[in-house]
């Protein structure tokens, strides 16, 4: 092999190694996990060697430039592939560490709240960066028990065709008198959102999987079993490895006054349920037995709480839970209940933040509202069919089995 041919091959190889090591060195600057100090030194040494090799090969090509070894097609193709690789690596670094921190904040806040997938952000960011992002994205919940007396189901409601106070009131009350519920659709951060107004809260109950405790079921499957024309996903569940059967709920589950589960959970979660007087209550620090004795008939466990007694939680940044497909439930002073489901995009990088949920609930008059389980679990079922577009972790347009739902019967 002559020296010019060696120069061309050496140029491509050293360029590839130089770019790759450059990426790893940059990652090592921000990460303590994926590239630790030892490997950062190794990568830096290889980076230096490949830089020297690149320079030597360029000199060889220039020195023997009159010798033609490859066709223009081969040269152009190899240069194109190298350029494509370079652009891809630079784009990757700009997304992770560039001046716009939107992706970084989304990745960290979303991953840190999954509990099982925190390594996604720990690969690329060290503890100081993660703590800094989380300190600028958090939620401060209202530290109060819900006051059931604030809800009055007999409160006068506007008649159809009257002058409404605003578009939100029109959305709610502009419907046939005999409607049990109404669903509207709108846009949140470029994603579809579905909001159902349930006019009779006494018709709302919790439903559980037929194989509760072992396997979850689709929301639409449970809705069909219970003959519930409208349903949304309910509480959270244990999901190690993000591939569980969806049958093991977290915290407390109560159905028709009967205790289905009573597990202790962390302070990020609370009980979300309805009393025998059909009032949505949000509670913490109670056992299932205490809740039943206090008149709670149906409940699941999730959170955080978005609005309590008309007071909205303080949400800094995206609330520390990132952007994702989300489900929320709320109730107005007049007793009307709100079911909200927001989709994510096809890459699961957008959706709603906790602030988005709280803002929507507030606009539609909720005095109590809470976040329910989200992501692939976020589903609204109408007449036993899913009407939104859930996306799973493999980016398939598909939901998963879960243990509990809120349904209208």
pLDDT in tens, 100-156: 898 899 889 888 876 456 777 888 999 999 999 999 999 999 999 899 999 999 888
Cα–Cα distances in angstroms (integers) from residue 399 to residues 195, 353, 388, in the given order: 19, 20, 10
**What is the model's pLDDT at position 239?**
86
Which of 46, 81, 98 is a domain's end point? 98
If asked whether residues 47 and 76 sit together in one domain, one would say: yes
Cβ atoms of 296 and 281 closer than 8 Å: yes
Tokens of 80: 């194109």
Which of 46, 77, 98 is a domain's end point? 98
If asked whether residues 173 and 59 sit together in one domain, one would say: no
**What is the model's pLDDT at position 88?**
96
**What is the model's pLDDT at position 258?**
97
Cα–Cα distances in angstroms (integers) from residue 221 to residues 209, 224, 244, 273, in the given order: 9, 5, 18, 22
Q: What angle do CA 103, 402, 356 make, to 5 degrees?
A: 40
Cα–Cα distances in angstroms (integers) from residue 390 to residues 151, 346, 380, 397, 407, in the given order: 33, 9, 9, 6, 18
If asked whether residues 262 and 302 sit together in one domain, one would say: yes
If asked whether residues 176 and 270 sit together in one domain, one would say: yes
CA–CA gap between residue 113 and residue 115 (Å, rounded): 5
CA–CA gap between residue 329 and residue 392 (Å, rounded): 22
Indicate the number of domains in the chain: 3
What number is the average pLDDT over the span 361-378?
A: 97
Residue 3 pLDDT exceeds 60 = no
What number is the average pLDDT over the span 383-391?
A: 97
CA–CA gap between residue 93 and residue 26 (Å, rounded): 8
CA–CA gap between residue 105 and residue 109 (Å, rounded): 6
Which residue, 151, 224, 407, is CA-closest to 298?
A: 407
What's the mean per-residue pLDDT of the chain? 91
The torsion angle over the Cα atoms of residues 263, 267, 273 and 277, rounded to 10 degrees, is 110
**pLDDT higher for 218 or 160?**
218
**What is the model's pLDDT at position 7?**
64
CA–CA gap between residue 26 and residue 374 (Å, rounded): 34
Count of alpha carbons within 13 angstroms of residue 377, beta-carbon side: 30
CA–CA gap between residue 337 and residue 339 (Å, rounded): 7
Which of 68, 98, 128 is a domain's end point? 98
Q: For a pLDDT cut of 90, what percent of the chain falls above it?
A: 70
In eight-state DSSP terms, residue 159 is P
Residue 67 pLDDT exceeds 60 = no
Which of 76-80, 360-364, 380-384 has the weakest average pLDDT? Answer: 76-80
Q: For a pLDDT cut of 70, what percent of the chain falls above it?
A: 94
What number is the average pLDDT over the span 17-32?
A: 93
**What is the model's pLDDT at position 222?**
98
**What is the model's pLDDT at position 393?**
83
**What is the model's pLDDT at position 335?**
97
What number is the average pLDDT over the span 353-357?
A: 96
**What is the model's pLDDT at position 158?**
83
If asked whether residues 61 and 50 sit together in one domain, one would say: yes
If asked whether residues 15 and 29 sit together in one domain, one would say: yes
If asked whether residues 117 and 259 sit together in one domain, one would say: no
Per-residue confidence band for 65, with pLDDT thresholds at 50, 70 and 90: low
Q: Which domain holds residue 51?
A: 3-98
Beta strand pairing call for 191-198 and 337-342: antiparallel
What number is the average pLDDT over the span 243-267?
A: 91
If asked whether residues 94 and 104 sit together in one domain, one would say: no
If asked whether residues 90 and 175 sit together in one domain, one would say: no
Beta strand pairing call for 311-312 and 305-308: antiparallel
**What is the model's pLDDT at position 189?**
96
If asked whether residues 354 and 379 sit together in one domain, one would say: yes
Residue 162 pLDDT exceeds 90 = no
- pTM for the predicted model, two decimal places: 0.84
Residue 241 pLDDT exceeds 90 = no
What number is the average pLDDT over the span 365-378?
A: 97
**What is the model's pLDDT at position 66?**
57
Residue with tokens 């579809």: 192
CA–CA gap between residue 244 and residue 215 (Å, rounded): 9
What number is the average pLDDT over the span 247-261?
A: 96
Most confident by average pLDDT, 38-42, 108-112, 122-126, 335-339? 335-339
**What is the model's pLDDT at position 121?**
85
Residue 63 pLDDT exceeds 80 = no
If asked whether residues 49 and 105 sit together in one domain, one would say: no
If asked whether residues 112 and 174 sit together in one domain, one would say: no
**What is the model's pLDDT at position 114?**
61
Cβ atoms of 188 and 358 closer than 8 Å: no
What pLDDT, in 10s, does the model give residues 192-234?
A: 999 999 999 999 999 999 999 999 999 999 999 999 999 999 9
What pLDDT, in 10s, does the model give residues 270-320?
A: 999 999 999 999 999 999 999 999 999 999 999 999 999 999 999 998 899
């Amino acid at each position: 092999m002559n020296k010019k041919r060696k120069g061309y091959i050496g140029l491509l190889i050293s360029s590839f190694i130089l770019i790759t090591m450059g990426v790893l060195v940059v990652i090592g600057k921000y990460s303590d996990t994926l590239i630790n100090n030892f490997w950062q030194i190794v990568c830096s040494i290889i980076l230096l060697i490949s830089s020297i090799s690149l320079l030597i090969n360029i000199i060889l090509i220039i020195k023997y430039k009159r010798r033609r070894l490859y066709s223009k097609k081969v040269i152009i193709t190899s240069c194109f592939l190298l350029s494509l690789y370079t652009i891809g690596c630079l784009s990757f670094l700009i997304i992770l560490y560039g001046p716009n921190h939107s992706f970084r904040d989304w990745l960290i806040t979303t991953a840190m709240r999954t509990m099982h997938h925190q390594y996604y952000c720990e690969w690329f960011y060290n503890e100081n960066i993660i703590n800094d992002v989380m300190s600028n994205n958090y939620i401060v919940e209202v530290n109060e028990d819900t006051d059931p007396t604030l809800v009055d189901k007999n409160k006068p409601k506007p008649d159809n065709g009257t002058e409404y106070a605003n578009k939100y009131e029109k959305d709610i009350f502009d419907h046939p008198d005999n409607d049990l519920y109404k669903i509207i659709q709108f846009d949140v951060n470029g994603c579809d959102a579905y909001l159902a107004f349930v006019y009779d809260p006494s018709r709302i109950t919790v439903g559980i999987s037929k194989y509760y405790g072992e396997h979850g079921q689709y929301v639409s499957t449970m809705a069909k079993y219970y003959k519930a024309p409208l349903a949304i996903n309910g509480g959270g569940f244990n999901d190690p490895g993000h591939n569980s059967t969806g049958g093991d709920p977290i915290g407390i589950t109560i159905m028709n006054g009967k205790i289905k589960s009573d597990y202790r959970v962390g302070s990020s979660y609370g009980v979300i349920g309805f009393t025998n007087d059909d009032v949505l209550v949000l509670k913490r620090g109670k056992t299932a037995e205490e809740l039943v004795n206090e008149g709670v008939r149906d409940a699941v466990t999730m959170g955080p709480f978005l609005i309590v007694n008309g007071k909205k939680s303080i949400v800094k940044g995206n609330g520390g839970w990132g952007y994702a497909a989300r489900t929320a439930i709320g109730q107005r002073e007049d007793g009307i209940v709100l079911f909200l489901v927001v989709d994510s995009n096809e890459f699961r990088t957008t959706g709603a933040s906790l602030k988005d949920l709280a803002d929507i609930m507030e606009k539609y008059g909720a005095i109590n509202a809470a976040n329910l389980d989200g992501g692939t679990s976020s589903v609204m079922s109408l007449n036993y069919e899913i009407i939104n577009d859930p996306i799973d972790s493999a980016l398939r347009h598909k939901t998963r089995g879960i243990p509990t739902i809120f349904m209208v019967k």
